[in-house]
Structure 1
């Protein structure tokens, strides 16, 4: 029996109407050609769009040989899309495809390019990619003056492309019209240098800091280790197996693999440029006629610079200028003894009291000035070598007492981690502050770094 509530204004015996499900605000579309499908009316509310390459390699080059058709971007694409992700386009795009795409998305505020060649393999595709980036950065009245976020994840390009992006951002800053547009810049790479000694040369680290402009409040220039767990399909996190991990037939090789990362050294031109951008001098030096260089971010809240190796003096300078930092991730040169640990902790003490999270990637002093070929063997050692290395770095990792002392200067600090080149066999430490103020954690087990 159905009980009837006299307070109800509808007949309870009547079949209830189905609840309306909210319309999706995100969609992912696999593309087998450079032709977008028609969007149904219910897609009008989309805010996020991901286009994923599902193009056969045997057909890819042929598709790039001609200009994209004028109707490649469907007129039904929702103009309200604010976030666009393009992923796995390993050879880039046919000419005019990206430019037409940008024109069809007037409200774009966030752009992510993941695991592909940004500017393609031809001059026409490079020009098209340059215009695409320019148009999205400059923007229009609909999106308030350009992108707020730019994410470049395992995305490669030819020499000069990043410098061109930097020039556009600097021009926007000087014009003053869109100086406050860009808030977040992320440039991230998965390290493949163990099997490819020329890997970092294709990253163009001397150009990346040119994209740092005053409006940014979050910057991530990150270098991550290859994933330890590889998928059965031969891909991991969208990336193919590292050649060092497979045999001639592409099958995984069992056993210990090279571990860790090798960031750009402290002597790299990009490192010097990064420090210059993060510690800007706004006055023209005496004796010079040119004005000061375009400054970098003035009030960062988040900085990840693990792509570059900093000296402790350089990190100290950065912390002295970036006085609003809450999150810090950095690769720094480290020694192996107690004085080296004290130097590291004293450097962190110079940070803003607002600092909450710290991750340090230690780069051993003996790696400075060593050739890239020999440095690629960092993780390819015997068990005895690894045990010796682990004990050698034991003294440089902070203890619970060190963390309690650090909290006196940095009251907001609640997370601190440190490793050596992101290689598990060299040990790591991870500390977290509990609500009562006690620090818990300590050394991290092998394989959990």
Structure 2
């Protein structure tokens, strides 16, 4: 293996790529892994009730985590097989309550996430956070923060405020900023009579949620083209949230690459936002004809996303998170495949002679640029990846799958 690595390293060095420097950069890039892949977005509130509010997980693969203990055990198994720096991304619906305790979403407190903080400390990972604006009886007519019913709107504003305070608590406990991301399912199935009023109500709600200055919180809003039950009109559109973030310092526009028209490329949006924002939050998923959140594969758009992050020297400015939930496959394998693919894409980008390629573009040497871009595609990138995994003490090849298969036999198969 070492001979293969040295040979691959020389091939890249011939093009002016410092492989060791690339690996040093990669190991420092945190990827925020979403907890909800482990239990199909069920959370700890509803005892397995069906999801609602524009969100859905499909499949019934056996062994789904049913509580905090099972979910964290599965997550730790995944962490042990993923190299590099990691974080965990939580939803408010994963609050850990005492037996018999009841706390509605507008009454959640930092203490309900103390166990998650302990878990993060034990595993040396950071935490990101999301208010949960779905699967709740206070969603009326598929509306939350934009509802004309003031009781409904106020409930969800209070929930958003609670979540920002929880995020600040977590940040102080871990000594690491927490990305707090607002996504809502608000919209209409058919053509609305009034498109402006819901957006004005959403703007008012966001102003109220973000009014309190809280240390350690990175606030962001996440747009969407359409979803289940809001096919005709989405209140929180891309134009609305980008305008809101641009006019509200300290609030960022999160890009989810499943939330746009199929011909739109998030890779092209990243440098546009980098021209105006000091941070660009990112959710990486894989849409198949719609925002279906399939497990991330090492496909062209993922590589382009990574290249835009790397070539623009934005590894510390683009906050990378994952967002998929596939219930048709082993959930731990889904975490591992998706996260490792994000890391592979970053490594692929780090192994590009970016400055040389920019120079060729500026000199209008487009023929040489095309040639170089194509030559890079067949260089022995996999040998560099396997060396990186070895240095991180995780299986470099499909050997990791045998560990997951054994875990499924020993643990998941006993969950009934």
**TM-score, normalized by length of structure 2?**
0.38
**TM-score, normalized by length of structure 1?**
0.35
The structure, 1 or 2, with the larger RCO (C-alpha pairs under 8 Å, 6+ apart) is 2
Larger Rg computed on CA atoms: 1
Higher strand share: 1
Higher helix share: 2
